[in-house]
Structure 1
Amino acid sequence: MNAFSSQNAAILAWLLCTLMLNTGTCNNFTIGCNQKDKLGLLNFKQRVIDLSRVLSSWNPDQDCCQWRGVNCDHITGRVTGLNLPCSTTLANYIDKEDKSHCLSGPNLPEWLYTQRYLKRLSILNSSFVAKSKFWNFVSRVSELDLEGNLMFGNLSNNVLLNSSFVNLSSNDLKGSLPRLSSNVAIFEASNNSLSGTISPLLCDHKMLNGKGSLIYLDISRNHLSGELTNCWKNWKSLIHVNLGSNSLTGKIPSSMGSLFSLASLHLHENNLYGTIPTSLQNCHSLLLFNVRENNLSGNIPHWIPHDARVLQLRSNNFSGNIPTQICQISSLIILDIADNIISGQIPTCLHNITSLVFNNASESSLYFSFALSNSITYVFEDGLELVTKGRVSEYRNNLHFMTLIDMSSNNLFGTVPSQMFSLVGLCSLNLSHNKLMGKIPYEIGNMRSLESLDLSANQFWGEIPQGLANLFFLGVLNLSFNNFSGKIPSGTQLQGFDAVSYIGNPDLCGLPLPKICWQDGEHKDSKPIDEDEDKYEFLSWFYIGIESGFVTGFLGVFCALSFNRKWRHAYFRFLYNMRDRLYVMVLIKMNSSG
Structure 2
Amino acid sequence: MHALLNFKQRVTDSSGVLSSWTIEVDCCDWKGVMCSNITSRVTGISLPCSTTLPIYSDGEDKLHCLTGSIHLSLLLVELEFLDYLNLKNNDFLALQFDYLHNRNCHNLSIPTSSHSQCINSSTLRHLDLSLNWNLAINNLKWLPYISSLEYLNLRAIDLSKESNWLQLVTMLPSLSFLNMRACRLKDLSLSLQYANFTKLEFLSLSANEFNSELPKWLFNLSSTIYTLDLSSSSLIGHLPKDLLNLRELEDLIMEDNNFDGPIPDWLGDFEHLETLVLGVNNFSGSIPTNLGNLSTLTTLDVASNPLTGVVSEKNFAKLSKLKELDIYSFHVNL
TM-score, normalised by the number of residues in structure 1: 0.44
Give the whole-Å Cα distance in 2 for the aligned partners of 1:43 and 1:63. Answer: 16
Aligned to 2:263: 300
Aligned to 1:201: 165
SS in 2 for 1:191: coil
Aligned-pair distance for 1:201?
3.0
Give the whole-Å Cα distance in 2 for the aligned partners of 1:110 and 1:262. Answer: 30
Matches within 5 A, 1:387-466: 403-408=324-329
Aligned-pair distance for 1:215?
1.8
Q: Is the 8 A contact 2:80 2:120 kept in 1?
A: no
Amino acid at match of 2:327: D
Amino acid at match of 2:215: P
Aligned-pair distance for 1:315?
2.9
Aligned to 1:98: 61
Give the whole-Å Cα distance in 2 for the aligned partners of 1:337 and 1:129. Answer: 39
* 1:122 aligned onto 2:78: no
Q: Could you give the per-residue CA deviations for residues 540-573 of structure 1, whole angstroms, max 9, x where no partner exists?
A: xxxxxxxxxxxxxxxxxxxxxxxxxxxxxxxxxx
Matches within 5 A, 1:245-256: 245-256=207-218
CA RMSD of aligned residues (A): 3.8
Matches within 5 A, 1:411-560: none
SS in 2 for 1:281: helix
Give the whole-Å Cα distance in 1 for the aligned partners of 2:24 and 2:72. Answer: 21
Q: Is the 8 A contact 2:203 2:227 kept in 1?
A: yes
Aligned to 1:154: 137
Q: Is the 8 A contact 1:287 1:307 kept in 2?
A: yes
Aligned-pair distance for 1:248?
0.7
The correspondence for 2:187, drawn from 220, 226, 236, is 226
Give the whole-Å Cα distance in 1 for the aligned partners of 2:68 and 2:257. Answer: 41
Q: Is the 8 A contact 2:176 2:200 kept in 1?
A: yes
Aligned to 1:485: none
Indicate the larger mover: 73-82 or 291-300: 73-82
* 1:318 aligned onto 2:301: no
For structure 2, the residue ranges without an aligned partner over 5 or more in a row are: 101-117
Structure whose residues are more often helix by fraction: 1
Aligned-pair distance for 1:95?
8.1
Give the whole-Å Cα distance in 2 for the aligned partners of 1:203 and 1:43. Answer: 33
Aligned-pair distance for 1:322?
1.9
Aligned to 1:184: 149
Matches within 5 A, 1:221-300: 221-229=182-190, 230-259=192-221, 260-300=223-263
SS in 2 for 1:349: helix
Aligned-pair distance for 1:110?
10
Q: Could you give the per-residue CA deviations for residues 80-138 of structure 1, whole angstroms, max 9, x where no partner exists?
A: 43333443359x9x985322123344676997575152514333444444354368798
User: Would the alpha carbon gap of residues 275 and 117 (structure 1) be closer, same or farther in structure 2, given more than 3 Å must change?
Assistant: same
Q: Which has the larger radius of gyration?
A: 1
* 1:88 aligned onto 2:51: yes
Amino acid at match of 1:217: L
Q: Could you give the per-residue CA deviations for residues 273-323 of structure 1, whole angstroms, max 9, x where no partner exists?
A: 222111112222222222223222222111221432222222333223321
Q: Could you give the per-residue CA deviations for residues 395-443 of structure 1, whole angstroms, max 9, x where no partner exists?
A: xxxxxxxx1231426xxxxxxxxxxxxxxxxxxxxxxx7xxxxxxxxxx
Aligned to 1:144: 127
Amino acid at match of 2:97: K
SS in 2 for 1:343: coil
Amino acid at match of 1:248: F
Higher relative contact order (Cα pairs below 8 Å, separated by 6+ residues): 2
Give the whole-Å Cα distance in 1 for the aligned partners of 2:184 and 2:92. Answer: 22
Give the whole-Å Cα distance in 1 for the aligned partners of 2:99 and 2:177. Answer: 21
Aligned-pair distance for 1:152?
3.4
Q: Is the 8 A contact 1:314 1:337 kept in 2?
A: yes
TM-score, normalised by the number of residues in structure 2: 0.74
User: Would the alpha carbon gap of residues 233 and 192 (structure 1) be closer, same or farther in structure 2, given more than 3 Å must change?
Assistant: closer
Provide the aligned length of Structure 1 versus Structure 2: 306
Aligned to 2:19: 56
Q: Is the 8 A contact 1:197 1:225 kept in 2?
A: no
Identity %, equivalent residues:
33
Give the whole-Å Cα distance in 1 for the aligned partners of 2:242 and 2:72. Answer: 50
Aligned to 2:107: none
User: Would the alpha carbon gap of residues 151 and 115 (structure 1) be closer, same or farther in structure 2, given more than 3 Å must change?
Assistant: farther
Aligned-pair distance for 1:47?
5.6
Q: Is the 8 A contact 1:105 1:129 kept in 2?
A: yes
Q: Is the 8 A contact 2:207 2:233 kept in 1?
A: yes
Q: Could you give the per-residue CA deviations for residues 498-537 of structure 1, whole angstroms, max 9, x where no partner exists?
A: xxxxxxxxxxxxxxxxxxxxxxxxxxxxxxxxxxxxxxxx
The correspondence for 2:178, drawn from 212, 217, 240, is 217
User: Would the alpha carbon gap of residues 46 and 235 (structure 1) be closer, same or farther in structure 2, given more than 3 Å must change?
Assistant: closer
SS in 1 for 2:127: strand
Q: Is the 8 A contact 2:304 2:327 kept in 1?
A: no
User: Would the alpha carbon gap of residues 334 and 127 (structure 1) be closer, same or farther in structure 2, given more than 3 Å must change?
Assistant: closer
Q: Is the 8 A contact 2:3 2:79 kept in 1?
A: no
For structure 1, the residue ranges without an aligned partner over 5 or more in a row are: 1-37, 164-180, 362-402, 410-432, 434-455, 458-594
Q: Is the 8 A contact 1:332 1:355 kept in 2?
A: yes
